[in-house]
Amino acid sequence: MIAVPRHFAVILAIFAIAAIILVGVITLIVVLTKKQNKKRAQAQALMLSMYDGKSAPICGNCGNRMTDGSAFCNKCGAQVEPDK
50 binding Zn ion? (CB under 5 A): no
56 binding Zn ion? (CB under 5 A): no
Residue 75, CA distances (Å) to 43, 53, 84 in order: 21, 19, 22
71 binding Zn ion? (CB under 5 A): no
Rounded (5°) CA angle 6-11-14: 130
79 binding Zn ion? (CB under 5 A): no
Among 10, 76, 81, 82, binds Zn ion (CB under 5 A): 76
Residue 8 DSSP code: H
- Residues forming contacts to Zn ion in the complex (CB under 5 A) are 59, 61-62, 64, 73, 75-76, 78
